[in-house]
A and B are shown apart, each in its own frame.
Chain A
């Protein structure tokens, strides 16, 4: 019986690795042909390249394939990396961890631990009842949605690796600090009462055997699921970005979202909270706004607010957190985002 399972469960990894290498080669070939391809497409249209519509269309046809290609690569890589982690293993790593070190670990694990938003409540209870400190749990819950592969992939594709890395750094920073602050406030009593009564043990799961073909398959599955879910957002976002690129008046935008308008940072955070879009729809717009003179800190604050402080997530968490605790969560994370926005506008002046 066991040999049978082995024979089914462990096919030779060679064809899979070869296929993955071939896939990467095709990817690289496609990527290198992006500029000629987009120019060729636009040249087919009866439009002057210099006209406003021509500008907008050229922008669109270059950005859509570029973003989709880069996003596919990042999502695939993240899908493979995530097979090395699981929420249960992360919980074991964090249980009983001191604050400080625990917050840093939780924020970093938040990026690589596979976790879907419908798991937020079980994860929260699972962590807290297994002895992960509340503040450490929050560090995880803030980092996980904020520093996601869609945001990183798109920032990388549209604004370059420096902005993507800075976003990663500041996103982690906010998750660590906000979790630490919430931990120091000792708000365990503000959890919904039933949460505290659960003293579930920790389930011992049978070890999952993961082979390289499994991991590659998980990466492909992530691409199918995530890119399949967000591609139309990206096209809509890039279309909106292209319109801004071709038509929006520069002086107006710069005066509203430029560096001189200090109030635009808090305004961006407040406007971002009720908005629920994913990074896929927002980032192309952000890129176009930047091109029109909006300040980087302001648009990053907007992005972080849209992604990390979402109303649907709060409604889910309301099942385990009291309103007071949710208010503290929004306040602490919002303050962190504000700080990042202002800091960016000063640093990148």
Chain B
């Protein structure tokens, strides 16, 4: 079970990032819990400067814009 957090104040792109993560997990057959982090202080705590950010098992793997599907698949199954 992987713990994925999507960091973002709730813009359209952040929601798309959540969908992308879920799709990628389903495709890779990996169990994930996806949590949206919308609180600014909490987002800032991860040390990123742009959203949406993606954190997998506590490690920031992406910040700013949507991830490339290839990269996402690699992070999810890696």
Write the residues of chain A forming the contact surface with B, with a CB cutoff of 8 angstroms: 5, 8-9, 86-88, 90-91, 114-116, 118-119, 121-123, 125-127, 129-130, 194, 198, 200-206, 208, 214, 319-320
Q: A9-B70, A118-B11 are in contact. Are A88 and B64 (CB under 8 A)?
A: yes
Contacts of B71 in A (CB 8 A): 9, 208
Within 8 A of A (CB), among B18-37: none
A-B contacts, CB under 8 A, total: 91
Residues in B46-60 with C-beta less than 8 Å from chain A: 46-51, 53, 60
- What are the residues of chain A within 8 A of B60 when measuring CB–CB? 203-205
Return the 7 tightest CB-CB contacts between A and B, nearest first: A126-B49, A118-B11, A203-B47, A87-B50, A125-B44, A203-B60, A87-B49
Given A118-B9, A118-B11, A198-B41, is A123 in contact with B49 using a C-beta cutoff of 8 Å? yes
Contact of B50 among A119, A194, A206 (CB under 8 A): A119
Of all chain A residues, which has the CB nearest B14? A118
**Known contacts A198-B41, A205-B60, A214-B68; is A118 also within 8 Å of B47 by CB?**
no
Q: How many interface residues does chain B have, given as a range?
A: 20 to 34
A206 to B56, CA, bound (A): 12
Q: Which residue of A lies closest to B78 (CB)?
A: A1
In the complex formed, the residue of B with least CB distance to A92 is: B49
The answer to whether A200 touches B13, judged by C-beta atoms less than 8 angstroms apart, is: no
Q: List 16 A-B contacts (CB under 8 A).
A: A5-B74, A8-B70, A87-B63, A90-B49, A91-B49, A114-B50, A115-B64, A121-B9, A122-B44, A122-B48, A122-B50, A125-B40, A125-B43, A125-B44, A202-B47, A206-B61
Q: How far is the CA of A13 from the CA of B73 in the complex (A)?
A: 22
Provided the pairs A198-B44, A208-B71 are in contact, do residues A127 and B64 lie with their beta carbons within 8 angstroms? no
Chain B residues, CB < 8 A from A214: 68
Q: A86-B64, A319-B40 are in contact. Are A118 and B70 (CB under 8 A)?
A: no
Docked pose: A14 CA to B37 CA in angstroms: 40
Distance from B55 Cβ to chain A, minimum over Cβ atoms (Å):
9
Q: Which residue of B11, B14, B40, B50 is within 8 Å of A88 (Cβ)?
A: B50
Residue among B13, B40, B68 making CB contact with A122, cutoff 8 Å: B40
User: Which of B14, B43, B47 has most A Cβ within 10 Å?
Assistant: B47
Complexed CA–CA distance, A194 and B42 (Å) = 11
Q: Is the CB of A88 within 8 A of B9?
A: no
